[in-house]
Chain A
């Protein structure tokens, strides 16, 4: 049951002086921990993570709306290959074509320069034109699953769907397993690395990824513009007299961002979608009755994103002494913005643990962030989810968990809230 994830508003039983988001149990089912924070210690210092956790909707908005006081660039650098940065950097310089400075995890005005380019890539109107292509991919994957009657939907549906779509956009050809491996390495790079072995493995994958992109970039630098996004970036002209084209650091890190930022995130949401279908047949039935009603499907997708946001938290660092939610933070404080907690804040959303597609303020969730760093791929992600809802529910019936609910595990990362494996059974809809 979905209630498995819920707090039932019980913040009891959580001792904030000892509990930590680094605890795998809490990472898997964090809502009670979040609720305890919102109630008693909204800007909570997590000793294990050495971070301040921002839990209330209002406080997240404050931070998201002030990108100068709360720096993405500094927050990201602090998090990067934590504990192993020097060696990691050396490996990338030696085997991966270089250690590239990230062009999007930055602050204005640096950020503004490249962000304007990305803004036009996935507008709602452009994404609409991709619908037929996205539908073909979804149909193909649903049909493959139906032919077997069972399957693990994260690796057999969600990842292949998102990676095929983004690869097509970028104009590259890669197996979904490779994209998945690279995405995992990238997530690790900004998570706390557990050991030197983990770091070495991640570094190797990131080197492969960079070498791959460098070759694709070079290929396009030497040829006339093509109809793909890497080509668009390579040939882009910026509104900046000093640096009218993107540099290599920018090309590589934007390529990386597009290839991976949209993959695990959207795949996580697609997997959660299946989980809801399997555990909430009432919701699946409501949707099935209204598959032709775009408004209903849209609202389901939005509530899905609010209810269980794929991205758990993004970091910021304070650039001066500042107060957030009544708590004085020193300059250099490392913050983690807990999107799921903000979406669960009953001062913004009534009965937040109810899955309610008719909320009047349904679009106000912060699952895509807000402010100048708001997700570039939001329209694309929503379209992928809407297409998946339609193709899955119109073709599949009797979607059921193939393992007991309490055996479902989540990836042990503070970056996302992702079901690690979701084996299901289903039948063809007659």
Chain B
């Protein structure tokens, strides 16, 4: 299993670098496990609550990919400031070696 690093930019602008983490599970799980501010994940990754909302910067959107249909519905219904093209639910982003160096901004809930 490969080892990667990801960064969350929190609401107050501060950054949380998760360096040297295994590329398994989801981005939400990685953020939740170290208590990233704003990754509340109320539904535990069921794609239902919208409290793991992040923005993906343009240079990463291709590698991260677009939300699936169900995720788009949840974004539309549940989150403040849904921005099509940038918004993703971090519980629906599977970590992989492809995502080494990923940097996302946590949305306000």
Contacts and interface: CB of A to CB of B under 8 A. Distances in A.
Interface of A: 65, 115-116, 118-120, 122-125, 128, 294-295, 298-299, 302, 361-364, 370-372, 374, 378-379
A125 B77 contact: no
B48 A123 contact: yes
Given A124-B70, A362-B77, A116 B44 contact: yes
**Interface on chain A toward B: helix, strand, loop, or mixed SS?**
helix
Contacts of B77: 298-299, 302, 362-363
B47 A123 contact: yes
Nearest to A369: B42
Interface string B11-48: 00000000000000000000000000000101111111
Given A128-B70, A294-B73, A123 B45 contact: yes
Contact of B78 (A116, A128, A363): A363
Given A361-B80, A362-B77, A124 B42 contact: no
Nearest to B70: A124
Contact of B43 (A294, A302, A362, A374): A374
Contacts of B43: 119, 374, 378-379
B47 A125 contact: yes
Contacts of B46: 119-120, 122-124, 378-379
Nearest to B47: A124
Interface residues of B, number: 18
Interface of B: 40, 42-50, 70, 73-74, 76-80
A374 B45 contact: no
12 contacts: A115-B44, A116-B44, A118-B44, A119-B43, A125-B47, A128-B70, A363-B50, A364-B80, A374-B42, A378-B43, A378-B49, A379-B46
Contacts of A372: 42
Contacts of A298: 73, 77
A65 B79 CA distance: 17
A119 B43 CA distance: 7
A125 B47 CA distance: 8
A371 B47 contact: no
